[in-house]
């Protein structure tokens, strides 16, 4: 597989910012970011794109802004600033009927399938509803399509009249995926879609998603806090911290992660068969900085420079298809080209 | 207090009203000063087993079986007698530290309360000052910097990881010799998790305390525990030294779990375990894993399977333990990197 980004972006956000509380600092809206002392937005000036047929992974811990980013990219929430583009459409400029129609093309699978399925609706009826609302197939063909969708996610076609409570967690998540696929989306957004599942069942759903990508060319953004899950599924991974994308790299060849946060994160992941002393870093972990100037990671960064206090680092290319937002790493890369 | 050996024999936990068994005959020993890990999926009975040890079962459940800590028989103690054991001898921390902390009480005061409940040196003001200093010391010990100031904060003013550290400080206040930690890091981010696990390990070594750690994460148990018990459907299906069990599992469920996990550097396809965890009501007389097992024979379904000795100090509840291999995908990936075993 080529490590270059394939083709035109299918789904893209440009300089996307989402602020939940209070008024956004005016200068932020004017030109990306400014030195105001306002509330730091959940997502700050993020530009990211998904190519057709690609699986993009978004990695981050709680509060990093990964879920907010996905909600904005699916236009479940309007961004405070910046724009979202789906192929030729600017989603963030659409309203009303036009937005509703465009939204069909992006479907979301959430973490808890029991919360996202109606307990009083049979799973067959939930799928049929999607087919009818979006007029995917003629009325007479709905039953057949429901059966084939269930088959596609590995649920016996005869189970259409069962209810979510009659299915296991993995079964419910398959139904959520089938319901997302029913709308024939261009993009599937999966937000921690396997995090609530037990290990043995998680593998079933991960394999299903991987098969769908390989067989149908489904484009996907997969959000997770689990490094290993993304290593298995994603062709490219963006790491988020404090509302920013701090590093982004293609999965092949396995990247040499450079950002000090990514390195800390990877060092903290327990690896089977490794003793405790091998993972984790000493010392208390400072939370992300919530001011608008400077790098959100600087409080616990071993590479901290003076510049990190004043200027939020931008993503810069350090290798082919590998971008890092860190003053220290970029300065190092500029001095001596990475081998 | 020095740690003693915990011995649990044929522990059963059942729903009082229906008699339905959720933990079905669990026996294990925790050697003094060692760390023992329970790993298993949802409803495997790992949490109930640990709660039963200090009689903290949810309402409506009852336990049977023998539990000894050193020379003391814990099973059958009255509530009053148990009060002397809980906290002082055996302490427990849970997944959600907020549930263990009183939201209306400064964390320092909460720790003082524990100190005063268990220690009775002196009276009045001197005693209170001693306790307050003790609380600050404990907070420092669990890695909370600026402890004197922070002891006056309320639980909501701490982050999740810091709250868990406070809960650990509380659990350690009466210097227990056995700490039971039930998914203590499952709600935390990995960077914070690593800190908590290292803290637990350090405290165990410094105090000679024994640790029982419950987790659904093989990686966590693998790093933190000498001994490992894998639970499935209310039973221990495999037990032994952690490194040996993970290197060569002796039960198809353990092997299946490992094969289904996305792991570091893994490129071969995941091999899920077919089916899902059984409903406790539908478990037959034979092996509970039989319906999902690729090694199943008729004998597996006929009668309960005892724990069989696989190697010294290692047991497996599988008749075909010698045939257990890491399962491989039925459709080899294009890379042809793995060979088909058997």
* pLDDT band (50, 70, 90) for residue A46: very high
Give every strand in the sheet of B72-73, ordered side by side: B21-30, B6-15, B61-69, B72-73
Instruction: Return left, alpha or beta for A285; rule: phi > 0 is left, psi -120 to 50 is alpha, else beta.
Output: beta
CB-based contact, A165 to chain B, within 8 Å: no
- With CA atoms as reference, report the closest residue to A222 among A249, A188, A245: A188
Q: Is A231 on the interface with B (CB under 8 A)?
A: yes
Task: Note the pLDDT of residue A167.
Answer: 87
pLDDT at B329: 57
Digitized pLDDT (tens) for each residue of chain B, 342 residues in all: 688 999 999 999 999 999 999 999 999 999 999 999 999 988 899 999 999 999 999 999 999 999 999 989 998 888 888 888 888 899 999 988 888 899 999 999 999 988 888 765 556 666 777 788 999 999 998 888 889 999 999 999 888 888 999 999 999 988 899 999 999 998 888 888 888 898 899 889 998 999 999 999 999 999 899 999 999 999 999 999 999 999 999 999 999 999 999 988 777 889 988 888 888 888 888 999 999 999 999 999 999 999 999 999 999 999 999 999 876 655 433 332 222 222
Tell whether A281 lies on the interface with B, counting CB pairs under 8 A.
yes
Q: A229-232: long-range contacts at Cβ-Cβ below 8 A with a sequence spacing of 24 or more?
A: A229/A194, A229/A202, A229/B262, A230/A57, A230/A59, A231/B262, A231/B264, A231/B265, A231/B266, A232/A206, A232/B262, A232/B266, A232/B270
Cβ atoms of B154 and B106 within 8 Å: the answer is yes
Does the CA dihedral A291-A293-A294-A299 come out positive or negative? negative
B321 and B261 Cβ atoms separated by less than 8 Å: no
At residue A115, does pLDDT exceed 90? no
pLDDT of residue A272: 87
**Contacts A–B by Cβ distance under 8 A:** 133
Query: Using the beta-carbon criterion (under 8 Å), do B195 and A280 form an inter-chain contact?
Result: yes
Q: What is the pLDDT of residue A38?
A: 55
- Which residues of chain A lie closer than 8 angstroms to B201, CB-CB? 276
Residues paired with B14 in a beta bridge:
B21, B62
Hunting for tokens 């069990």 — which residue is that?
B245
Report how far apart, in Å, the C-alpha atoms of B291 and of each of A190, A199, B235 are.
31, 18, 16
How far is B85 from B104, CA to CA, in rounded Å?
27
How confident is the model at residue B125, as a pLDDT? 67
Q: Which of B195, B258, B271 sits opposite A285 (nearest CB)?
A: B195
Q: Over the Cα atoms of chain A, what is R_g?
A: 21
Alpha carbon distance, N-terminus to C-terminus of chain B? 52
Q: A252 or A257, which is more confident? A: A257
The H or E element spanning position A307 is: helix A307-310
Q: Check if A1 contacts B (Cβ < 8 Å).
A: no
Contact B39, B215 (CB under 8 A): yes
**pLDDT, tens digit, for every residue of A279-303?**
445 444 566 766 677 898 988 888 9
First-to-final CA distance of chain A: 21
Backbone angles phi, psi at A131, to 5 degrees: -60, -40
| Alpha-carbon distance B154 to nearest alpha carbon in chain A (angstroms) | 18
ipTM value for the complex: 0.82
Structure tokens at B325: 């291999």
Q: Could you say which DSSP state residue A258 is in?
A: -
Which residue did the predictor score with more confidence, A61 or B25? B25
pLDDT band at A21 (very low <50, low <70, confident <90, very high): low
Given this model, what pLDDT does residue A195 score? Answer: 86
Q: Which of B189, B202, B258, B267 to mutate to test the interface with A (most CBs of A within 10 A)?
A: B189
User: Nearest CB to B217: which of A270, A277, A280?
Assistant: A270
pLDDT by residue (tens digit) across B294-338? 999 999 999 999 999 999 999 999 999 999 987 665 543 333 222
Rounded Cα distance between B226 and A338, Å, is 41
Q: Give the separation between CA A158 and CA A135, rounded to whole angstroms.
A: 23
Residue B7's nearest CA partner among B75, B67, B82 is B67
Q: Do A228 and B264 touch (CB under 8 A)?
A: yes
**Chain B residues touching A200 at Cβ < 8 A:** 41, 256-257, 260, 272-273, 276-277
CA-closest candidate to residue A296, choices A94, A29, A46, A108? A46
Task: Name the residue among B216, B247, B243, B236 with its Cα closest to residue B316.
Answer: B236
Residues 6+ apart with CB under 8 A from A127: A145, A146, A149, A150, A160, A175, A178, A179, A182
Interface test with B, best of A67, A246, A273, A282 (most B CBs within 10 A): A273
Question: For an interface test with A, which of B194, B211, B255 has the most A Cβ atoms less than 10 Å from its Cβ?
Answer: B194
Rounded Cα distance, A292 and B311, in Å: 60
Distance from CA of B258 to the nearest CA of A (A): 9
Residues in Cβ contact with B331 at an 8 Å cutoff, skipping those fewer than 6 apart: B269
In SS3 terms, chain B reads as CCCCCEEEEEEEEEECCCCCEEEEEEEEEECCCCEEEEEECCCCCHHHHHHHHCCCCCCCEEEEEEEEECCEECCCCCHHHHHHHECCCEEEECCCHHHHCCCCCCHHHHHHHHHHHHCCCCCHHHHHHHHHHHHHHHHHHCCCCCHHHHCCCCHHHCCHHHHHHHHHHHHHCCCCCEEEEECCCCCCCHHHHHHHHHHHHHHHHHHCCEEEEEECCHHHHHHHCCEEEEEECCEEEEEEEHHHHHHCCCCHHHHHHHHHCCCCCCCCCCCCCCCCCCCHHHCCCCCCCHHHCCCCCHHHHHCCCCCEEEECCEEECCCCHHHCCCCCCCCCCCCCCCCCCC
**Helices then strands, each counted (H, E), chain A:** 12, 12
Point out the residue among B246, B247, B260 whose CB comes nearest to the CB of A200.
Answer: B260
Q: How confident is the model at residue A30 (pLDDT cuts 50, 70, 90)?
A: very low
Are A113 and A164 contacting, i.e. CB atoms less than 8 angstroms apart? yes
Residues A192-204, mean pLDDT to the nearest whole number? 86
Cα separation of B295 and A284, whole Å? 47
Collapsed DSSP state (helix, strand, coil) of residue A44: strand
Q: Which residues of A touch B226 (CB under 8 A)?
A: none
């Amino acid at each position: 597989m080529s490590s270059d980004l394939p083709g035109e972006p299918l789904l893209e956000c440009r300089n996307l910012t989402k602020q939940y509380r209070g008024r956004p600092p005016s200068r932020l809206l004017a030109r990306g970011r400014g030195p105001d002392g306002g509330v730091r937005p959940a997502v700050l000036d993020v530009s990211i794109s998904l190519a057709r047929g690609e699986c993009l992974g978004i990695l981050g811990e709680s509060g990093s802004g990964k879920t907010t980013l996905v909600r904005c990219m699916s236009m479940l929430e309007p961004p405070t600033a910046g724009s979202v583009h789906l192929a030729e459409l600017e989603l963030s400029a659409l309203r009303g009927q036009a937005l509703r129609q465009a939204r069909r093309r992006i479907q979301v699978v959430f973490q808890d399938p029991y919360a996202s399925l109606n307990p009083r609706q049979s799973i067959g009826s939930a799928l049929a509803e999607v087919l009818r609302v979006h007029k995917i197939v003629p009325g007479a063909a709905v039953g057949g399509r429901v059966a084939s969708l269930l088959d596609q996610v590995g649920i016996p076609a005869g189970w259409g009249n069962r209810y979510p409570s009659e299915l296991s967690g993995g079964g419910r998540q398959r139904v959520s995926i089938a319901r997302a696929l029913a709308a024939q989306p261009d993009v599937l957004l999966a937000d921690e879609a396997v995090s609530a599942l037990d290990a043995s069942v998680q593998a079933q759903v991960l394999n299903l998603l991987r098969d769908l990508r390989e067989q149908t060319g489904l484009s996907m953004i997969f959000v997770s806090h689990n490094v290993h899950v993304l290593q298995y599924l994603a062709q490219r991974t963006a790491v988020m911290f404090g509302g920013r994308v701090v590093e982004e790299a293609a999965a092949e060849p396995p990247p040499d992660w450079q950002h000090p946060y990514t390195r800390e994160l990877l060092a903290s992941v327990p690896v089977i068969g490794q003793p405790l002393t091998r993972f984790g870093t000493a010392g208390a972990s400072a939370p992300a900085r919530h001011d608008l100037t400077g790098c959100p990671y600087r409080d616990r960064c071993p590479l901290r420079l003076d510049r990190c206090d004043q200027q939020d680092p931008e993503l810069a290319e350090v290798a082919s298809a590998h971008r890092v937002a860190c003053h220290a790493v970029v300065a190092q890369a500029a001095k001596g080209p990475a081998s | 207090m020095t740690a003693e050996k915990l011995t649990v024999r044929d522990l059963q936990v059942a729903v009082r009203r229906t008699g339905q068994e959720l933990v079905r005959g669990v026996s294990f020993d925790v050697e003094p000063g060692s760390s023992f890990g329970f790993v298993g999926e949802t409803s495997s009975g790992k949490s109930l087993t640990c709660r039963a040890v200090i009689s903290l079962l949810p309402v409506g459940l009852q336990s049977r079986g023998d539990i000894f800590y050193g020379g003391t028989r814990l099973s059958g103690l009255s509530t009053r007698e148990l009060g002397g054991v809980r906290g002082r001898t055996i302490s427990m921390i849970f997944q959600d530290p907020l549930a263990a902390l009183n939201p209306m009480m400064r964390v320092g005061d909460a720790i003082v309360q524990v100190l005063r409940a268990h220690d009775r040196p002196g009276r009045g003001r001197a005693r209170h000052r001693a306790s307050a200093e003790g609380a600050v010391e404990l907070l420092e010990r669990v890695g909370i910097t600026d402890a004197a100031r922070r002891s006056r904060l309320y639980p909501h003013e701490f982050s999740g990881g810091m709250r868990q550290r406070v809960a650990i400080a509380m659990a350690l206040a009466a210097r227990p010799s056995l700490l039971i930690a039930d998914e203590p890091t499952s709600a935390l981010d990995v960077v914070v998790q690593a800190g908590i696990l290292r803290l637990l390990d350090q405290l165990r070594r410094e105090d000679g305390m024994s640790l029982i750690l419950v987790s659904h994460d093989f990686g966590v148990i693998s790093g933190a525990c000498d001994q490992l018990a894998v639970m499935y459907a209310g039973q221990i299906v495999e037990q032994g030294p952690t490194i040996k069990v993970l290197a060569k599992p002796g039960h198809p469920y353990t092997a299946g779990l490992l094969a289904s996990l996305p792991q570091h550097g893994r490129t071969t396809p995941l091999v899920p375990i077919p089916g899902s965890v059984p409903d406790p009501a539908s478990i037959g007389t034979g092996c509970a894993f039989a319906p999902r097992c690729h090694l199943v024979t008729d004998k597996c379904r006929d009668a309960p399977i005892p724990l069989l000795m696989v190697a010294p100090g290692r047991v497996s509840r599988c008749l075909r333990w010698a045939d257990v291999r890491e399962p491989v995908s039925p459709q080899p990936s294009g890379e042809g990197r793995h060979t088909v075993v058997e």
